[in-house]
Amino acid sequence: MSNWDYLPDYPLNSDLVKRLKSALDAKDEERMRDLICTEVTPVDAVIELANDDWMKDPSAQLPPGMLLGLWTLEYKRELTTPLCIAAAHGHTACVRHLLGRGADPDASPGGRGALHEACLGAHPACARLLLRHRADPDLLSAEGLAPLHLCRSAASLGCAQALLEHGASVQRAGGTGLDTPLHVAAQHGLDEHARLYLGRGARVNARNSRKETALSAACGATRRPDEQGRCLRLCALLLRHGAAADTRDEDERSPLHKACSHASHGLVRLLLRHGADAGALDYGGASPLARVLQTATCAPQAAPQRTVQALLNHGSPTVWPDAFPKVLKTCASVPAVIEVLFNSYPHLCVSESWKEVIPEEVFQMHKPFYQSLFALAHTPRCLQHLCRCALRRLFGKKCFDLIPLLPLPEPLQNYLLLEPEGVLH
């Protein structure tokens, strides 16, 4: 049933809704509890908290842009029940009181039931109470999401455990994206949730509607710096459980493409160690190396040169020489990227015209490096560099594994593995 088919017991303009909204806005939890536990009748009353259907009010003043595209409007109407409100705010005593009066744990006039709200708010005590009163652990919301799909924060782990203990399906695909709970955990970097689902038999290589696996979803999500470690643990966990490191989504992008788009060098190294193809091309013809070069300037704090270095040490094809000026223009403000890439060629003809693509302020900021680059304009590379390139060509995709085995001092091993020095020789 659509929520437009419901007639609210307490419409938006009713006195009780006005007082309830005031309590919610003021975060006055005691007043809110009193209202829904003592004044609302019947126990499963439908409460209207919002309604932007301007067509009900002929005097409404509409912005001109709205009048130009009426067919694109989506009217929003928020209907709920006392039980949903209590569960959403984690008021266990209130939930217990309402259930004791016979409230239906699965009522969902607004499209989500109380169990959905408890999981979204990460309130495990409320979730367990609802489940003990026979709430459906696999109840689908209007968007086709089960409660397990709404366990989206680290604090919701207890909710996920309770759902699985009461028979929730860990394999259910939901929503327009057909994500499984494991996809959701991967998207939000929830390594403990993923461990729980895998322990309950979640299929690690299940695909969603975009043909993404959980590993692909994890690698494609944007992370804050403080979330990187948890994401790395999550991806390592997925790989240990058999996640395919080189699967492709609907755009033929691999997890490595996505990790490179964020210049996440720890994750890139992890994927490469598990057999990801450093030379893979997506539908647009872009390689993982192209992805990191495109994002290098936007993420200098992520040390994108480390990602470039890892790819080249695992056999990534380098950039076509004629395209190097374009890379120089794009990555000029991150000279360590230019250095690592430049040193992957036995010889690259440096042109004085390249100076034109480097902004003057960038040149001055990194003057020692760019002076060393243009000093090579009419000079062959040194013998040491040519030996480096010969060894790298011999080892190919095994550079990362074989070079550390050579009986050489560590500085020389680092040189062979393209460790940046800050200047070119």
58 pLDDT tier (thresholds 50, 70, 90): very low
Question: What residues does 77 pair with on adjacent strands?
Answer: 51
The average pLDDT across 275-299 equals 94
Minimum mean pLDDT among 98-102, 109-113, 220-224, 325-329: which range?
A: 220-224
Minimum mean pLDDT among 46-50, 136-140, 189-193, 257-261: which range?
A: 46-50
Q: What SS3 state is found at 413?
A: helix
* Residue 75 reports pLDDT greater than 70: no
The architecture CATH gives domain 1-51+78-163+181-193? Alpha Horseshoe (1.25)
Q: Which residue has the tokens 């979330």?
A: 227
**How far is the first Cα of the chain from the last one, in angstroms, to the nearest whole number?**
72
65 pLDDT tier (thresholds 50, 70, 90): very low
Q: What is the pLDDT of residues 109-149, one digit of tens each?
A: 989 999 999 999 999 999 999 999 999 999 999 999 999 99
Packing angle, helices 335-342 and 324-331, rounded to 10? 160
- E-strand ranges in 195-246 read none
Mention every residue, 6+ apart, whose C-beta is less than 8 A from residue 190: 151, 152, 153, 154, 157, 184, 230, 234
Packing angle, helices 304-313 and 265-273, rounded to 10? 20
The average pLDDT across 198-223 equals 96
Mean pLDDT over all residues of the chain?
Answer: 91
The average pLDDT across 52-64 equals 47
Q: What is the pLDDT of residues 182-203, one digit of tens each?
A: 999 999 999 999 999 999 999 9
Distance CA 28, CA 20 (A): 10
What is the pLDDT, as a whole number, of residue 56?
47
Beta carbons of 371 and 424 less than 8 angstroms apart: no
What is the pLDDT, as a whole number, of residue 225?
77
**Domain-by-domain residue ranges, the chain?**
1-51+78-163+181-193, 256-425
Question: What residues does 78 pair with on adjacent strands?
Answer: 50
* Residue 10 reports pLDDT greater than 80: yes
Amino acid at 254: S
Of 4-18, 74-88, 139-153, 219-233, highest mean pLDDT: 139-153
The 10 Å Cβ neighbour count of residue 256 is 29
Distance CA 384, CA 416 (A): 10
